[in-house]
Amino acid sequence: MDFLTLLQVLDTTIRLATPLLLACLAGLFSERAGIFDIGLEGKMLASAFLTAAVAAVTGSVLIGTAAGIGAALMLSGIHGLASITFRGNQLISGVAINFLAAGLTVVIAQSWFGQGGRTPQLSGSARFETIDLPLAGEMRGDIPFIGPIYAELISGHSLLVYIGLLAVPVTWWVLFRTRFGLRLRAVGENPAAVDTAGISVVGLRFAAVAICGLLTGLAGAYLSTGLQAGFVKDMTAGRGYIALAALIFAKWRPWYALGACLLFGFLQALALRPDVIESTLGFEVGVQLLDALPYILTVVILAGFVGRAIPPRAGGEPYVKER
């Protein structure tokens, strides 16, 4: 594998890892507050559909993204009501959201556009365009090694890719360097102690669920307007579940989550370049096997790391205030 080919694979890795990273950070906020969220997949799917649909109608990707975030926030609110207010089973609530989103997106898309459950192809201002960073063109050929890395790998991504990468240090800072983050983590470990201190457990958990909705909304918007040019049925393709596996692998830590999502993105990027694998290994590898690698890794992580990774102690348990 030559240097430029490696840069192309890594560039694709970053693009494919972005929705996983945003969804993984969304789950991190929610689960750190003690709310397990299997519904990441459904929120991403709903956001992807509404973002593409509104962008196709209005011609504005920003308006579409706002609509997609609104859809994800609405589903987060439903999950919050079910699991926090009514103290229902968090896993069942998340699965219900996934089924709801999978069915409604196709039905509404077919009714709205009549194109077999998909939206029209997006172009121009209805999509997130790539951003060329300053001096990227000049550095590409003038500065060996560093120039191509800057021009091909760092520059040339859409706005949501940079937002996703920036969200990692922001998440770390919020969770581990602010009073809000301290309280949020405490709610996931010992909500009774937080309640005793006069802090609203319900309020903090709803705040975490809202942040989860915001990030999954961005993830879904990127899928349909950044990574692709429109919505198609089940376009999340299990990314919400992969994000949950990456979260477990990362042990609920932001920087580890970045590494885990880049690993999954790298495997997906390799599946798109079987020629690179065959030239490196010297023999032909089935495309089906390469496509299945991220999902195989998901199963391996869930089977091998669930017992070792220790989730927040109050995770998945509704809080009942003592009287």
What pLDDT does residue 307 have? Answer: 58
| 3-class state of residue 130 by DSSP | strand
281 pLDDT more than 70: no
What pLDDT does residue 208 have? Answer: 97
CA pair distance 33, 49, nearest whole angstrom: 28
What pLDDT does residue 135 have? Answer: 76
Ranges of beta strands (E only) in 223-289 are: none
| 3-class state of residue 129 by DSSP | coil
Going from the C-alpha of 125 to that of each of 51, 119, 300, the distances in angstroms are 13, 16, 41
| 3-class state of residue 270 by DSSP | helix
Q: Vertex 158, ends 153 and 160: CA angle to 5°?
A: 110
Q: What is the pTM of this model?
A: 0.94
CA pair distance 98, 87, nearest whole angstrom: 19
Q: 76-118: per-residue pLDDT in tens?
A: 999 999 999 999 999 999 999 999 999 999 999 999 999 988 9
Going from the C-alpha of 25 to that of each of 118, 199, 219, 252, 255, the distances in angstroms are 28, 24, 10, 9, 10
What's the half-sphere exposure (Cβ side, CA atoms, 13 Å) at 92? 7
Q: 211-236: per-residue pLDDT in tens?
A: 999 999 999 999 999 999 999 999 99
